[in-house]
Chains A and B, each alone.
Chain A
Amino acid sequence: GAGVSQSPRYKVAKRGQDVALRCDPISGHVSLFWYQQALGQGPEFLTYFQNEAQLDKSGLPSDRFFAERPEGSVSTLKIQRTQQEDSAVYLCASSLEGLSNQPQHFGDGTRLSIL
C-alpha cells in the first residue's frame, strides 16, 4: 500500500508477557519514528531511526522497550515483561528525510491492552 502499515491493529496480552509490534513505512522513506499515545493524550516520542541506525531512543520509558530496523525498512517495537502502564496506542510514522519541515506520515497504530 501507499501508506504506513502497522500490525497487529489490536493486541491484548497478560502482564509479564512479551509483545512485538510491526511497522512497515512508506517505501523510500529514510526516517522512521515510534510514538506512544496514552488515552486522551497526544502522542509522545519514543525513538527515531534513520535507515537502519537508531539515532535517538531517548523517549523509551524503560529498558523493557526495544526497537529495531535491521534492513532500514520494516521496524519492530518490542516490549518485554509487559506491565499495565504499557497499555496505549503505539504509532509509527515515516518521513522522507526526517527534516523538521517535512511531514511525518502516520500509520493507524496498534492498540495494546495489558491485562
Chain B
Amino acid sequence: GNSVTQMEGPVTLSEEAFLTINCTYTATGYPSLFWYVQYPGEGLQLLLKATKADDKGSNKGFEATYRKETTSFHLEKGSVQVSDSAVYFCALIANDYKLSFGAGTTVTVRA
C-alpha cells in the first residue's frame, strides 16, 4: 500500500534559521506529492505540491523537490519566522483520489 514517513518532531528553531523536514514515501505508480500545513487552531492548508519527478513546488518561501530516485519530497525554508510555527504534513495521492498522510511534524520557531 501507499505510505508516507516524515521526520519526527517536535522541531524547535530560532528565527531566521534554516528548516528541513524530511519526507519519504512508498507508492504504486507515480504519485502526486503534497505538503499541507496546520496553523494553531486552524484547518489543513495546502502549502505546495508536485505532480511529477523533478518538479519543484514552492510557496511562502518553502520549497520541495519531487525526487523519484530517492522517493523523497523534503520540505525546506531558508529563513523561518515565528509565524511559520505549525504542524507540517507530507502527503501523497497515487492512482486514485485518497490522500495518504505522514504523522506530521510540529515546528516551533522562537523569536
The interface of chain A, by Cβ under 8 A from chain B, is 4, 31, 33, 35, 40-45, 48, 56, 59, 91, 93, 95, 98-101, 103-109
Decide yes or no whether B22 CB sits under 8 A from chain A.
no
Main secondary structure, interface of A, reads: loop
Contact in complex: B97, A33 (CB < 8 Å): yes
| Top 8 A-B residue pairs of the complex, sorted by shortest distance between their CB atoms | A42-B101, A108-B43, A106-B44, A100-B93, A45-B98, A101-B51, A98-B97, A103-B46
Which residues on the B side are within 8 Å of A43 (C-beta)? 44, 89, 99, 101
Contact in complex: A41, B43 (CB < 8 Å): no
Report B60 CB to chain A, min CB distance, Å. Answer: 15
A95 to B44, CA, bound (A): 14
- Count, chain B residues at interface, CB 8 A: 26
Which residues on the A side are within 8 Å of B95 (C-beta)? 100
Which residues on the B side are within 8 Å of A59 (C-beta)? 98
A43 to B4, CA, bound (A): 12
Q: A40-B104, A101-B51, A103-B49 are in contact. Are A45 and B99 (CB under 8 A)?
A: yes
Q: Mark B30-48, 1 if CB is under 8 A from A, else 0.
A: 0110101000001111100
Report B25 CB to chain A, min CB distance, Å. Answer: 13
Cross-chain pairs A/B with CB under 8 angstroms, 29 sampled: A4-B43, A33-B98, A33-B99, A40-B104, A41-B103, A42-B89, A43-B44, A45-B100, A48-B97, A56-B97, A56-B98, A59-B98, A91-B43, A91-B44, A93-B99, A100-B31, A100-B32, A100-B93, A100-B96, A100-B97, A101-B51, A103-B34, A104-B46, A104-B99, A105-B46, A106-B45, A108-B42, A108-B43, A109-B43
